[in-house]
């Protein structure tokens, strides 16, 4: 029988980085290749309604094993990894019975409790890390492995009564498109859970309201040998504009419910520089204030420059799912109870980002987020614990059983 860890290690071998510059869905071929692999596995489990559509969305259903009318629930994870670090040729390392101290990953990288104090709480656990050159892919291949392992366990233990369990694996979540083409109606769940959180116990039904802001700085390019009084370097303008942004309202200086402005990437040349920001706030009023702040700074900066050299375009990305989930408080209560019964202390906290669940909640599928057991997503210091993954599987199984018990 395939184990949880074997599944996870197999899935992270697929290069599934998404790419926001490409308009197709899925945005990269690797996601489609993984989807085909997962389709074969779900079919081999003899699940019902296994379907992989042309856009890379994979769904399936474990049918109810009771005659009682039980609400259909879903579990959802995404197949892509973040563009922030390479997901190609991932070489996981397994650290058994971690006893503290620094972990040399390779490539000059060290996983240290000095930087990541949560390591101090993981003594005795088995860690799966990177080799220091790529991300790991626990976000969100751990979620996929955990869902399939839980479904496999339910299949093998028919004495655990449950209603219909709907499974969904989506592409392009990391570039904000994961829910774009998700067919909520045909998924046919009354509510769902994304298995896309971090450390053990995380249970989330709040996320940032999110917008993207592109600041385009226009310069004038002239040969540097005759540039005096003529050249206007757009990169210098961009640097001046970035200096106007609040230095203490960035991701690395905020936590909890604090919002931020994040310069995420830039494209530069003398003639034109584009600064790509993401703006985040848990309250709509706060997000509106942040957008207004940027608009005002652009206006003032252009006045200072004496001409319209800076343009700003803002687009909204997703909203805080709290308003869509709170009216269905029972789905949070069931998740909390499932965790407690699995000896996991629920840690209810806001998501300092977004998930497919945020968008899906506004599409009529209330969808809180549950932990995977992973840490430091999106970078070369990403790692996950085997024990955390195992607890996630137990919570999924217990969630299915508790739902059946409550509605029996």
Dist. CA 215–CA 276, nearest whole Å: 7
Instruction: Quickly list DSSP for 337-386.
Output: HHHHHTT---EE--BSS--HHHHHHHTT----EEE-SEESTTSTT-EEEH
Tokens of 12: 């992270």
Catalytic residue, from 15, 80, 174, 281: name it: 80
Catalytic residue, from 41, 173, 281, 390: name it: 173
What Cα–Cα distance (Å) separates residue 245 from each residue in 233, 295, 298?
A: 20, 12, 11
Judge whether 80 counts as a catalytic residue: yes
Judge whether 173 counts as a catalytic residue: yes
Handedness of CA 364, 365, 371, 376 (dihedral sign): negative
- Asked if 162 contacts 403 with a C-beta cutoff of 8 angstroms, the reply is yes
Name the one residue in this structure whose structure tokens are 């945020």.
358
- Asked if 105 contacts 93 with a C-beta cutoff of 8 angstroms, the reply is yes
Tokens of 103: 């972990």
- Asked if 201 contacts 262 with a C-beta cutoff of 8 angstroms, the reply is no
- Asked if 205 contacts 212 with a C-beta cutoff of 8 angstroms, the reply is no
Name the one residue in this structure whose structure tokens are 């969305």.
57
- Give catalytic residue positions: 80, 173
């Amino acid at each position: 029988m395939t184990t949880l860890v074997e599944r996870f290690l197999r899935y992270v071998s697929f290069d599934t980085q998404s790419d926001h510059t490409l308009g197709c869905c899925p945005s990269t071929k690797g996601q489609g290749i993984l989807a085909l692999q997962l389709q074969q596995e779900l079919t081999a489990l003899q699940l019902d309604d296994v379907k992989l559509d042309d856009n890379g969305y994979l769904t399936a259903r474990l049918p109810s094993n009771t005659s009682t009318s039980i609400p259909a629930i879903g579990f959802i994870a995404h197949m892509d990894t973040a563009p922030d670090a390479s997901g190609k040729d991932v070489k996981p390392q397994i650290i058994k019975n971690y006893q503290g101290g620094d972990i040399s990953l390779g490539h000059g990288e060290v996983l240290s409790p000095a930087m990541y104090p949560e390591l101090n709480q993981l003594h005795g656990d088995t860690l799966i890390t990177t080799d220091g050159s790529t991300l790991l892919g626990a976000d969100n291949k751990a979620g996929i492995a955990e869902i399939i392992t839980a479904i496999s366990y339910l299949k093998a233990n028919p004495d655990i009564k449950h209603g219909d369990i709907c499974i969904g694996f989506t592409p392009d979540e990391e570039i904000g498109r994961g829910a774009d083409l998700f067919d909520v109606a045909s998924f046919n769940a009354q509510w769902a859970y994304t298995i896309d959180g971090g450390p053990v116990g995380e249970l989330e039904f709040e996320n940032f309201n999110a917008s993207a802001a592109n600041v385009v700085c226009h310069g004038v390019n002239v040969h540097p040998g005759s540039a005096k009084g003529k050249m206007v370097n757009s990169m210098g303008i961009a640097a001046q504009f970035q200096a106007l942004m609040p230095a203490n309202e960035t991701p690395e200086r905020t936590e909890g419910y604090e919002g931020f402005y994040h310069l995420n990437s830039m494209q530069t040349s003398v003639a034109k520089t584009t600064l790509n920001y993401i703006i985040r706030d848990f309250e709509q009023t706060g997000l509106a204030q942040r957008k207004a702040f940027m608009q005002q700074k652009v206006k003032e900066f252009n006045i200072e420059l004496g001409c319209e050299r800076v343009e700003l375009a803002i687009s909204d990305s997703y909203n805080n799912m709290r308003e869509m989930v709170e009216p269905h408080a029972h789905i949070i209560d069931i998740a909390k109870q499932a965790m407690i019964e699995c000896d996991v202390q629920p840690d209810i906290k806001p998501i300092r980002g977004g998930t497919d669940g945020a968008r899906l909640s506004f599409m009529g599928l209330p969808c809180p987020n549950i932990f995977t057991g992973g840490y430091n997503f999106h970078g070369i210091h990403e790692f996950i614990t085997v024990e955390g993954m195992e607890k996630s599987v137990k919570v999924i199984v217990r969630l299915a059983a508790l739902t059946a018990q409550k509605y029996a």
